[in-house]
Chain A
Amino acid sequence: KNQVEQSPQSLIILEGKNCTLQCNYTVSPFSNLRWYKQDTGRGPVSLTIMTFSENTKSNGRYTATLDADTKQSSLHITASQLSDSASYICVVIFTSGTYKYIFGTGTRLKVLA
């Protein structure tokens, strides 16, 4: 069954600290993997997109990694800011005629001053 699991479920860190969020998936055939940021009550906004051949991709203070062999991805946030408080969702896209989005359970991050 195509599934995307994330850990931790929630995380609290102090402003300025770094953190790493994990994503494991069992999705096939794999097209690409995306990390989204979702503010409370808002729609998901794309942070990074990673294809099968990419190991690392950065977008400002966000760095995503992908290990397609072990089917794991991580999102590292550097020098966290209060505005980083949100849910971070790992989404794996696979193709089965059309492109299908499989959403992870999300990690709720809270950054404290």
Chain B
Amino acid sequence: EPEVTQTPSHQVTQMGQEVILRCVPISNHLYFYWYRQILGQKVEFLVSFYNNEISEKSEIFDDQFSVERPDGSNFTLKIRSTKLEDSAMYFCASSEGGETQYFGPGTRLLVL
């Protein structure tokens, strides 16, 4: 069964550094999403992406964040200058366009 994959599984970085989180959505899916889950808190929506542009973003998704689909398979989340509070689990999801989103296993980001 096709699934969403994410790399790396864990990332440790210094405050102020840039990180890029990578996702490979399910191949025939057209809609892509990033979510964040701070330890012990609920999953929060960051951004949705369709047709090579952001379709919606939350108030969390400020100027330090950006998303890109650099080729036909990858979907990336870039955090330009990481802060301590960016430490969280980041989940990628994809969908064909209906209601069902399929989630990846997540990348655990730790900012020191």
Contacts and interface: CB of A to CB of B under 8 A. Distances in A.
Contacts of A43: 4, 91, 103-106
A43 B42 CA distance: 12
Task: Classify the interface of chain A: helix, strand, loop or mixed.
Answer: strand
Interface in A89-112: 89, 93, 97-101, 103-106
Contacts of A93: 99
A103 B41 CA distance: 10
A106 B98 CA distance: 24
A106 B89 CA distance: 15
A89 B44 CA distance: 12
A49 B103 CA distance: 15
A101 B42 contact: no
Interface residues of A, number: 20
7 A-B pairs with least C-beta separation: A43-B103, A103-B43, A103-B42, A43-B105, A105-B42, A99-B99, A43-B106
22 contacts: A41-B89, A42-B106, A43-B4, A43-B91, A43-B103, A43-B106, A44-B43, A44-B103, A45-B103, A49-B100, A89-B42, A93-B99, A98-B31, A99-B98, A99-B101, A100-B45, A101-B43, A101-B101, A103-B43, A103-B44, A104-B42, A105-B41
